[in-house]
Chains A and B, each alone.
Chain A
């Protein structure tokens, strides 16, 4: 850790306090709302399950993309955590969606195809919930903002933020770690004895996100507070995206054309 002033007890207290303050600041959870945690079994989702379980009844949903040698170990951590803490866990695979596992698809842009199918899985399997909580953290959000700016896709900024509104048949998405640095999440897991084995997706080095992540970590080291400044600047502005009422003719999910990207991938695989 970089802050030497905090002992273990105070670090844990401050870490959890920031998550609760984020939930309060952005009005993320209302009493009685049914919450599903989108869990990969990595440090972010395990820490999120750990904290939310202190105040709320939560279930967990995980998506197995089918990347040999990658997801297996984090799913084992997730199964163990959920069994030990009596959290209901559901694991769905790309095959459950009607698609081939990612390694068989072998797409030119694996992160893009993977992301589309993961989002579809979350849509299809969280219908009975009011909220889907994700472990997205400060680093993730700063990266997403910069990726959209660097690609001049400013209309997509409207989809970011600590809470995305529920739409017809789609649960709201919330990010309680929105203002929490990624580094502190791993430290929290270690100090709480939460097992989270590091497992790296073999496709990550092909991604634009990877490049932005490297650049931001270099910048943060030289100019501490840069990531938080990016996110707070984003929050000070209002971004809007023209609402599309189109629905996919195949699955009925939200889409910008007659067939959503997920169904296009499923048909092609």
Chain B
């Protein structure tokens, strides 16, 4: 799974299968502060993610 984290502009390649919430927890990201796109589609925290998905984690907080 390719994961792009917008706030830090990091790109990671992970082996992961589980919910979006579980992914965020494994990355130490508070779900309150982000939205998750799966293959360019906005999904909820209970969405199941698979290894071949392209994931973007977008920040929702104001930048200043």
**Docked pose: A1 CA to B49 CA in angstroms:** 15
Most chain B beta-carbon contacts within 10 A, residue among A43, A44, A198? A198
The chain B residue sitting closest to A44, CB to CB, is B62
Contact of B32 among A140, A198, A221 (CB under 8 A): A221
Chain B residues with CB under 8 A of A185: 60
Chain A residues with CB below 8 A from B7, complex form: 198, 200
Most chain-A CB neighbours within 10 Å: which of B31, B45, B61? B61
| A182→B62 contact, CB < 8 A | yes
Contact of B61 among A4, A191, A213 (CB under 8 A): A213
A-B contacts besides A182-B61, A204-B64, 8 pairs, CB < 8 Å: A1-B35, A1-B45, A4-B44, A4-B46, A182-B62, A201-B63, A218-B30, A221-B32
Q: Does B6 contact A (CB under 8 A)?
A: yes
Q: How far is the CA of A187 from the CA of B22 in the complex (A)?
A: 20
User: B44: which A residues are within 8 A, CB to CB?
Assistant: 1-4
Residues of B within 8 Å of A, CB-based: how many?
20
Q: Check A203 for interface membership: any CB of B closer than 8 A.
A: yes
B-side residues, CB < 8 A to A, are 6-7, 30-33, 35, 37, 42-46, 58-64
Which residues of the partner chain B approach A43 to less than 8 Å between Cβ atoms? Answer: 60
Give the A interface residue count (CB, 8 A): 30
Within the complex, what minimum Cβ distance (angstroms) separates A228 from chain B? 13
Q: Which of A161-216 contact B (CB under 8 A)?
A: 182-183, 185-187, 190-191, 198-201, 203-204, 213
Q: What B residues does A183 contact at CB under 8 A?
A: 32-33, 35, 60
Nearest B residue to A74, CB-CB: B63
Does A42 touch B at the CB level, under 8 Å? yes
A residues touching B (Cβ–Cβ < 8 Å)? 1-4, 8, 42-44, 70, 111, 139-140, 182-183, 185-187, 190-191, 198-201, 203-204, 213, 217-218, 220-221
A203 to B64, CA, bound (A): 8
Q: Decide if A221 touches B31 in the complex (CB within 8 Å).
A: yes
Given contacts A4-B46, A198-B6, contact A186 B32 (CB under 8 A): no
With both beta carbons as reference points, the residue of chain B lying nearest to A136 in the complex is identified as: B62
Chain B residue numbers with a CB within 8 Å of A217 are: 30, 32-33, 61
Residues of chain A contacted by B46 (CB below 8 angstroms) = 4
Report which of A42, A186, A203 forms a contact with B35, defined as CB distance below 8 A. Answer: A186
Contacts of B31 in A (CB 8 A): 2, 221
Docked-complex contact A220 and B63, CB < 8 angstroms: no
A201 x B64 contact (CB < 8 A): yes
Bound together, the chains give a CA A220 to CA B31 distance in angstroms of 10
**A232 CB → nearest B CB, Å:** 19
